[in-house]
């Protein structure tokens, strides 16, 4: 079961690496935020025992071995090329992300005999197109926000990543969900680093967050409501930038961004906890049924 | 004359000697079970089963090497009488049911032993294949209902889940999985 000491270590090493790398690459013009978050997630995964298998055997392996390096590379290229090259690369990653995650699964492959795949070609195409469009939309809006309000934007994404981690752990994917914790730590510390790193850090975090939610929904027990709610949450950080609210001071708007993100994340966490308790059987006072915190405390 | 006599003896022998032919069977899911038990914190055993089973097998008493077993279970049908635990078992932490939906055993050789067969085959679990050898006992036959010939076999064996890439939470949930399978098949 989840080991709180390992989780704390994963959070610590991810945050440390993200800060050190973004600081080291700060003057080189390379997106230190993207590289820092990417390596921070890898280091956290290593601490948590989630090091990917080669060749990849599951969606989490493909996320770590292909998708995260691809987006880090994209963000590095973006800083040294014209803007349209960067967006073509980002669009490519967005289009390929979901198909890569479900590759070889029973959704798109006849694993149990001819015609056994769960999605027809048409349905798969519609789902992949929708997911790519949603990912691209959130990616554009959040990276745009990160260039204007780097600190509150990265904090909003970090809160969502942390909420995603715990929600996934409550939704039947106890180990995979933990990857959201080093992600939250890595992108969270970028908030207090050089603002130039925020856009790349947010880009890597959004794609990783998207991937975790897709994995949680399609391969574990994460509900569609919780997955959609969590991925849409960082968009609320854009609300204070609406024309009607722009007259408010920057500090007020920054606070509002964080609060608007935190409230729905807490709500989703509460709903996930309720579902966990319901699915775990009757739970009354004095019940011997283990709670989520019991599992967290077990290895102490 | 000698040739005629030899031919007569041969035909008589073929007629009188009982034929030991290979029989093909289809697993009858309503009389089949694949159950397992695994240690929880070293204190007790958690029991579970797979509800969706299928398979075929061939029994050839005259040529035991031709005897084969081909049994499959849908891991999505895992049932431990706890919805949350079953959901967790289907996740990539354990069976990764959407990526590797089938648990299969395909025999590669069999030899007769007292009361059954020693069967060697490939067990595929979590997308990983491993050769195992099991003792399958049984083989009694019955006609039930009338006109339907059936036979049945049972086996018990142990695997280490970590050898099949299922290496999460080993500190709480045991590595050794004790599997018990019992099934009937109706002759095709």
B84 vs A: CB within 8 A: yes
- Using a 10 angstrom Cβ sphere, with 0-12 exposed, 13-18 middle and 19 or more buried, the burial of residue B167 is middle
For residue B127, list chain A residues with Cβ-Cβ distance below 8 A: 57
Chain A residues near residue B171 by CB distance under 8 angstroms: 299
pLDDT at A149: 81
Across chain A, what does the average pLDDT equal? 89
Q: Does A105 contact chain B (CB < 8 Å)?
A: yes
Show the tokens assigned to A283.
């739970």
SS3 B121: strand
Length of chain B, in residues: 188
- At residue A86, the pLDDT reads 81
Min CA distance, A57 vs chain B (Å)?
A: 8
Three-state secondary-structure class, residue A164 = helix
Tokens standing for B158? 């142990």
pTM: 0.87
All structural domains of chain A with their residue ranges: 4-295
- Asked if A241 and A147 count as a contact pair (C-beta separation under 8 A), the reply is no
Q: How many helices (H) and strands (E) does chain B have?
A: 2, 10
Cβ–Cβ < 8 Å for A183, A166: no
Which tens digit of pLDDT belongs to each residue from B43-74?
A: 999 999 999 999 999 999 889 889 999 999 99
Report for A198-202, A259-263, B170-174: range of highest mean pLDDT: A259-263
Q: In whole angstroms, what separates CA A148 from the centre of its chain?
A: 21
**For residue A143, pLDDT beyond 70:** yes
* Residue found under tokens 């780097």: A150
Region of poorest pLDDT, from A190-204, A206-220, B149-163: A190-204
Higher model confidence: residue B16 or residue A98? A98
Could you tell me the pLDDT band of residue B20, with boundaries at 50, 70 and 90? low
Identify which has the larger pLDDT, A79 or B11. A79
- What does the alpha-carbon distance between residue A172 and residue A186 come to, in Å, rounded to a whole number? 24
Q: pLDDT for A257-299, tens place per residue?
A: 999 999 999 999 999 999 888 887 643 444 455 555 555 554 4
Distance CA A111, CA A89 (A): 32
SS3 B91: coil
Least reliable range by pLDDT among A190-199, B45-54, B80-89:
A190-199
| CB < 8 Å to A48, chain B | none
Residue B31's φ and ψ, nearest 5 degrees, are: -125, 50
Q: How far, in whole angstroms, is CA B14 from its chain's centroid?
A: 34
Chain B positions touching A112 (Cβ under 8 A) are: 74, 101-102
CB A62 within 8 A of CB A50: no
From the list A105, A173, A299, which residue is nearest B91 (CB)? A173
What is the enclosing helix (H) or strand (E) of A265?
A: helix A250-279
User: Of the candidates A36, A13, A290, A266, which has an alpha carbon nearest to the alpha carbon of residue A164?
Assistant: A266
DSSP secondary structure code for residue A246 in this structure: T
Residue B2, token pair as written in the block: 């000698």
Residues in chain B closer than 8 A to A57 (CB atoms) = 99, 127, 165
**In this structure, is residue B4 part of a structural domain?**
no
Has residue B86 got a pLDDT over 70? Answer: yes
- What integer is the mean pLDDT of A20-25? 86
Q: Is residue B11 part of a domain?
A: no
B3 lies in a domain? no
Element containing residue B134 per DSSP (H, E): strand B128-143
CA distance A35 to chain B (A): 27
A52-97 residue pLDDT tens: 999 999 999 999 999 999 999 998 887 766 778 888 899 999 999 9
Per mean pLDDT, which range of A27-41, A48-62, A107-121, B23-37 is the poorest?
A27-41
Scanning every residue of chain B, which has its alpha carbon at the shortest distance from the alpha carbon of A289?
B82
B113: which strand partners? Answer: B116
Binning pLDDT at 50, 70 and 90, where does residue B6 land? low
d(CA A245, CA B109): 75
CA angle A213, A218, A222 (to 5 degrees): 55
All residues of chain A having their beta carbon less than 8 Å from the beta carbon of residue B82 are: 280-281
Partnered with residue B135 across adjacent β-strands are B118
Angle at the Cα of B151 (from B148 to B157), degrees rounded to 5?
150
The pLDDT, as a whole number, for residue B4 is 61
Q: Which residue has the tokens 């009858």?
A: B28
In this structure, of A146-160, A202-216, B89-103, B111-125, the range with the lowest mean pLDDT score is A146-160
| Cα separation, A56 vs A53, whole angstroms | 5
- Residues A289 and B6: their CA atoms lie apart, in Å, by 79
Nearest-by-Cβ selection for A220 from B83, B91, B169: B91
Task: Name which of A59, A172, A175 is nearest B168 (Cβ-Cβ).
Answer: A175
- Which CATH number fits the domain that encloses residue B65? 2.40.128.110
Range of lowest pLDDT (A26-40, A107-121, B49-63, B131-145): A26-40
Domain span holding position B162:
22-187
When divided into structural domains, chain B yields a total of 1
Of residues A222, A255, A215, the one with CA closest to residue A102: A215
**CB within 8 Å: B91 and A281:** no
- Do the chains contact at A107 and B87, CB–CB below 8 Å? no
The reply to whether B152 falls in a domain is yes
Does residue B49 form part of some domain? yes
Q: How many CB pairs under 8 A join A and B?
A: 77
Ramachandran angles phi, psi of A261, nearest 5°: -80, -45
Classify residue B136 as left (phi > 0), alpha (psi -120 to 50) or beta. Answer: beta
Render pLDDT for A147-172 as a digit per residue (tens, 0 to 9): 888 889 999 999 999 999 999 999 98
Both tokens assigned to A44: 């956290």
Chain A residues with beta carbon closer than 8 angstroms to that of B97? 106
Q: Tell me how far apart the alpha carbons of residues A142 and B7 are, in angstroms, rounded to a whole number.
A: 92
Preferred mutation among A55, A57, A179 to probe B, highest tally of B CBs within 10 A = A57
Identify the closest residue of chain A to B89 by CA–CA distance: A172
For residue A86, how far is the Cα from the chain centroid? Answer: 21
Question: Cβ of B92 and A281 within 8 Å?
Answer: no
């Amino acid at each position: 079961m989840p080991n709180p000491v390992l989780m704390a270590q994963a959070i610590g090493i991810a945050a440390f690496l993200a800060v050190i790398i973004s600081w080291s690459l700060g003057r080189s013009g390379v997106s230190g935020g993207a590289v820092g978050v990417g390596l921070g997630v890898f280091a956290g995964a290593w601490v948590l025992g989630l090091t990917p298998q080669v060749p990849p055997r599951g969606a989490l392996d493909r996320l770590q071995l292909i998708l995260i390096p691809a987006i880090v590379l994209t963000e590095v290229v973006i800083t040294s090329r014209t803007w349209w090259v960067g967006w073509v690369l980002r669009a490519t990653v967005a289009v390929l992300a979901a198909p890569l995650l479900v590759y070889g699964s029973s959704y798109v492959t006849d694993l149990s005999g001819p015609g056994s795949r769960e999605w027809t070609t048409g349905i798969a195409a519609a789902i992949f197109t929708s997911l790519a469009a949603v990912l691209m939309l959130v990616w554009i809006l959040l990276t745009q926000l990160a260039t204007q309000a780097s600190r509150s934007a990265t904090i909003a994404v970090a809160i969502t990543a942390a909420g995603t981690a715990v929600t996934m752990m409550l939704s039947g994917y106890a180990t995979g969900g933990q990857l959201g914790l080093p992600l939250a730590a890595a992108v969270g510390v970028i908030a207090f680093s050089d603002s130039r790193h925020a856009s790349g850090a947010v880009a890597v975090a959004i794609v990783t967050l998207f991937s975790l939610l897709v994995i949680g929904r399609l391969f574990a027990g994460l509900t569609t409501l919780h997955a959609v709610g969590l991925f849409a949450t960082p968009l609320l950080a854009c609300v204070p930038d609406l024309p009607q609210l722009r007259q408010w001071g920057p500090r007020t708007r920054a606070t509002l961004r964080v609060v608007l993100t935190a409230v729905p994340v807490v709500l989703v966490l509460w709903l996930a906890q309720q579902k966990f308790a319901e699915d775990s059987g009757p739970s009354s006072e004095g019940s011997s049924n283990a709670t989520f915190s019991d599992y967290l405390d077990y290895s102490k | 004359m000698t040739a005629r006599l030899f031919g007569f003896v041969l035909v008589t022998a073929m007629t009188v000697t009982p034929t030991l032919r290979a029989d093909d069977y289809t697993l009858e899911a309503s009389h089949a079970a694949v159950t397992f038990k695994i240690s929880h914190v070293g204190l007790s055993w958690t029991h579970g089963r797979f509800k969706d089973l299928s398979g075929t097998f061939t029994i050839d008493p005259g040529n035991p090497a031709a005897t084969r077993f081909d049994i499959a279970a849908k891991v999505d049908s895992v049932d431990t009488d706890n919805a949350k635990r079953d959901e967790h078992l289907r996740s990539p932490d354990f069976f990764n049911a959407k990526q590797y939906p089938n648990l299969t055993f395909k025999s590669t050789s069999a030899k007769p032993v007292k009361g059954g067969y020693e069967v060697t085959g490939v067990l595929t679990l979590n997308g990983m294949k491993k050769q195992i050898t099991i003792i399958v006992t049984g083989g009694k036959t019955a006609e039930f209902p009338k006109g339907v010939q059936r036979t049945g076999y049972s086996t018990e064996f142990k695997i280490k889940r970590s050898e099949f890439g299922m290496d999460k939470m080993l500190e709480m949930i045991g590595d050794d999985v004790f599997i018990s399978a019992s099934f009937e098949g109706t002759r095709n």
